[in-house]
Chain A
């Protein structure tokens, strides 16, 4: 009987520990997911580089078309438009593109742009040295602003990708209650 009680105690203890570990595993899925996205390009997050940091390699003769897209999320009273619909670029060279944003509200609003590149695999080769999405954007009531993104497409972009879409969605920045 005593050994039975000991067995029950042991089983129960182990199972409680497993329960707590699995609760932790739920949280561990957050960094795991981030790592997974970084490796595969899942969720289309773009890469950040410093211009001229890497060694420049000779340009190859190839053209990739970039399509620009914009969205505004939910209740954010902003208007966002790319100045160009599309642009032909040569991989390995830096280009500038601008987006025009307008605050339609009569109060200052803070927004945050989140980029996404499609097809997902291309997001691993889409590198930005400057972007309005690196920081929060504050717009005064009625203000219109041209915002810059400076990017290059890596020369290693898979051959079957002939065009890619760069999309920005503006969200209300966390902590902005206007």
Chain B
């Protein structure tokens, strides 16, 4: 089928720096997103290293508490909005047109803009660290009244959130417009690869939730500078209202980070198990129901804020309900591997680790979702351990898996499998050394977001910090592997993986600048899910 991909190398695209700045090509923009998110991953990671260095021993060693708190806050904002989300959008840009047989994204110019406002947003955010009064230090959730006490950095923080929101919304609109209008003939919705499905649903979550966040931070801005009293008790407002609005965005946001990961893993596991994905339709419905339910569980982030007992029960039961479709997914991944002819290349290793470790994070999430229990766990390291299991060993591991899986398609070369396996084992062991002890710290009562701690927590913190440094250093290996792969190596075939299915493997590796300018003819076997 490689004949469908005509090589049109007679395009008149600009070269050099202009190629990247003015690019409207989905592959170039995808690459930009991915490189940007990798850079942000290291900036956010450096902040995590500062946090772990400070927590290596009790007492105040390296940084003052204000700076520590701004590290915690900015680390979160960068990792969420700068690393995981852009990486997901980058993958969507690169792969969705290839997977559905479209020549490009539906709105290429908007695509360019949605990427290029990101660096400005993060330049603003990072610049706040050098401002009078320091960077944002009230936590990434920006709760008033604490966040309103921020110095000069406050309006920059709000504007950053606006910029990132606009960028993500434009990206989301683009993805939906592409998938709804540009699929190759014969590719019906229920024939789409699951990665495309999870991204469409994620895009809807973005469009429904990010404007609400934009509204909430705008209210903060007018409260501070324009005399409104949305969250000001003295003026008749209620600070708790902010938490409700924020988490109405915040919980769907959790799934914005997680759903593309589900899509990635659902693509990779069938490839290396050499079996079609078990329960494709149930996967689609499970993803959709997770997305819908995510709008009705927000208050489980704030059980301790004071709510009528009926409210607490409602949000507890709704939270428990999400475990059902998530359980369906985990079951399907295991059933896909069941009796499969499995091989364990790096993408598969990361995917299997994802299934196991994400499930651990899911279980600790269930514990946190139980209202009476949450009163003990709330704002402790147990919460930190929980969301790092779902976001680092969950979302980030899936992104690593995706990078290894599609690197041959992007660069035209196979990556160094041996080094990649070393990277996998180092990452997995280090991440568990880093975050597993934090469960115990949380259960023993160590609070979050505090630079000092009681001496009884010293041992587990030291272990956790050692894991943190090991994880941080081992990610440098990933950069080396990616650069090495981009520069050369074993040539990759069009179908780089033996068991890979899908249109992206019908075009040569590396994927030519223009693909599917005429829609591909789909054969029956290509539409098997």
- A residues near B, CB below 8 A? 4, 7-8, 11-12, 15-16, 18-27, 29-30, 33, 37, 40-43, 73-74, 112, 114, 120-121, 169, 171-175
Taking CB atoms and an 8 Å cut-off, the chain B residues in 324-380 that contact chain A are none
Instruction: Say how far A39's CB is from chain B's closest CB, in angstroms.
Output: 10
**Separation of A74 and B148 alpha carbons in the complex (Å):** 13
Instruction: Say how far B225's CB is from chain A's closest CB, in angstroms.
Output: 13
Does B233 contact A29, Cβ atoms closer than 8 Å?
A: no
Q: Which residues of A contact B248 (CB under 8 A)?
A: 26, 29
Question: Can you report 22 A-B residue pairs in the complex whose CB atoms are below 8 A from each other?
Answer: A8-B106, A11-B176, A12-B106, A12-B173, A15-B173, A15-B177, A19-B207, A22-B209, A25-B212, A25-B215, A26-B248, A27-B219, A29-B241, A30-B219, A30-B241, A33-B241, A41-B308, A42-B311, A43-B306, A73-B234, A112-B234, A169-B233
Does A8 contact B177, Cβ atoms closer than 8 Å?
A: yes
* B230: Cβ under 8 A from any A Cβ: yes
* B190: Cβ under 8 A from any A Cβ: no
**Separation of A33 and B307 alpha carbons in the complex (Å):** 13
* B147: Cβ under 8 A from any A Cβ: no
Does A4 contact B182, Cβ atoms closer than 8 Å?
A: yes
**Separation of A43 and B236 alpha carbons in the complex (Å):** 12
**Separation of A8 and B229 alpha carbons in the complex (Å):** 41
Smallest CB-CB separation from B209: which chain A residue?
A: A22
Q: Which residues of A contact B307 (CB under 8 A)?
A: 42
Q: Which of B177, B212, B219, B234 contacts A174 (CB 8 A)?
A: B234
User: With A4-B182, A12-B177 in contact, is A26–B233 under 8 Å at CB?
Assistant: no
Given contacts A19-B211, A40-B311, A43-B306, 14 further A-B contacts (CB under 8 A): A8-B181, A12-B106, A15-B176, A16-B173, A18-B208, A19-B173, A24-B215, A26-B212, A26-B216, A26-B219, A29-B241, A42-B307, A43-B240, A114-B234
**Separation of A114 and B240 alpha carbons in the complex (Å):** 14
Does B238 contact A33, Cβ atoms closer than 8 Å?
A: yes
**Separation of A112 and B176 alpha carbons in the complex (Å):** 50
Most chain B Cβ neighbours within 10 Å, of A7, A15, A40, A172: A15
**Separation of A114 and B214 alpha carbons in the complex (Å):** 28
- Tally of contact residues, B, Cβ under 8 A: 39
Contact with A along B169-182 (1 / 0, CB 8 A): 10011001100111
Does B227 contact A26, Cβ atoms closer than 8 Å?
A: no
Does A174 contact B173, Cβ atoms closer than 8 Å?
A: no
**Separation of A18 and B176 alpha carbons in the complex (Å):** 13
Does A175 contact B308, Cβ atoms closer than 8 Å?
A: no
**Separation of A8 and B181 alpha carbons in the complex (Å):** 6
* B470: Cβ under 8 A from any A Cβ: no
Q: Which residues of A contact B211 (CB under 8 A)?
A: 19-23, 25-26
Q: Which of B182, B210, B230, B240 contacts A30 (CB 8 A)?
A: B230
Instruction: Say how far B321's CB is from chain A's closest CB, in angstroms.
Output: 22
Q: Which residues of A contact B308 (CB under 8 A)?
A: 40-42, 120-121
Does B180 contact A26, Cβ atoms closer than 8 Å?
A: no
Q: Which residues of B contact A173 (CB under 8 A)?
A: 234
Smallest CB-CB separation from B174: which chain A residue?
A: A12
Does B207 contact A23, Cβ atoms closer than 8 Å?
A: no
* B232: Cβ under 8 A from any A Cβ: yes
User: With A15-B173, A27-B215 in contact, is A33–B209 under 8 Å at CB?
Assistant: no
Instruction: Say how far A79's CB is from chain B's closest CB, in angstroms.
Output: 18
Q: Which of A15, A29, A114 contacts B244 (CB 8 A)?
A: A29
Contact with A along B197-213 (1 / 0, CB 8 A): 00000000001111111
Does B244 contact A11, Cβ atoms closer than 8 Å?
A: no
**Separation of A73 and B149 alpha carbons in the complex (Å):** 14
